[in-house]
């Protein structure tokens, strides 16, 4: 049965995820409060940067793993985007204390994959009609967003979103926003490649949150 995303179980999921973060930190970081609140650094890019894309698809752990497996994608970084606060920490963003959104920055080879093709992979790893969050993770800091870094990306994203809506696959409006990218702040080291560092915890979360089942039933994803 498909997981129902109620306010009650979304709160449980958020608490669960935070507990997993702490456990992971204790496991491979000996994670002290100083490390949890370590200063985050900005990724350097501008509107002329080639082969850079930024997406928010809910939990950034669950966006890194599927995107890194796509041919033509060179690297995926977890981080925070869309807000005004400088050097945000995970604890602040996950608690809704900032205007940032959990996001991923993708470096890709434009000779092997186009931005339009990249968007198809983005759509197929989210629930595009869920508002104010993704699966168990509820709140504006977990909503889905396509952050464009230039006008070309904006236009391609708008066309892609319109095509998905027109396809008739969903009977609700596509909730994903298309917004100008702000500074992208790299998440703390213990979040980067989390699925490699803590595979069992990662897959428990992905399955328990309802994401894995939704992707399989909606997009045919394993």
Q: Which residues are catalytic?
A: 59
Asked if residue 222 lies in contact with residue 17, where contact means CB atoms within 8 angstroms, the answer is: no
- Give the pairing of strands 52-57 and 101-108: antiparallel
Find, among 61, 67, 55, the residue nearest to 184 by Cα: 55
**Cα distance between residue 6 and residue 166, in whole Å:** 28
Handedness of CA 201, 80, 162, 170 (dihedral sign): positive
140 strand-pairing partners: none
């Amino acid at each position: 049965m498909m997981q129902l995303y109620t306010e009650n179980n979304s709160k449980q999921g958020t608490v669960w995820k935070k507990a997993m973060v702490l456990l992971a930190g204790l496991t491979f970081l000996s994670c002290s409060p100083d490390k949890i609140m370590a200063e985050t650094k900005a990724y350097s890019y501008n509107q002329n940067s080639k082969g850079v894309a930024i997406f928010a698809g809910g939990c950034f752990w669950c966006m890194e793993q599927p995107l890194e497996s796509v041919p033509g994608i060179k690297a995926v970084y977890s981080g925070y985007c869309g807000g005004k606060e400088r050097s945000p920490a995970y604890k602040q963003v996950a608690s809704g204390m900032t205007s940032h959104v959990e996001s991923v920055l993708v470096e890709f080879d434009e000779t092997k994959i186009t931005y339009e093709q990249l968007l198809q992979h983005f759509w197929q790893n989210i629930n595009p009609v869920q508002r104010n969050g993704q699966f168990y993770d509820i709140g504006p800091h977990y909503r889905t967003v396509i952050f464009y870094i230039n006008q070309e990306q904006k236009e391609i994203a708008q066309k892609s979103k319109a095509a998905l809506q027109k396809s008739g696959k969903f009977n609700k409006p596509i909730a994903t926003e298309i917004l100008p990218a702000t500074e992208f702040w790299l998440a703390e080291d213990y979040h980067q490649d989390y699925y490699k560092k803590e595979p069992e915890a990662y897959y428990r979360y992905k399955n328990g949150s309802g994401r894995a089942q939704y992707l399989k039933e909606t997009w045919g994803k394993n």
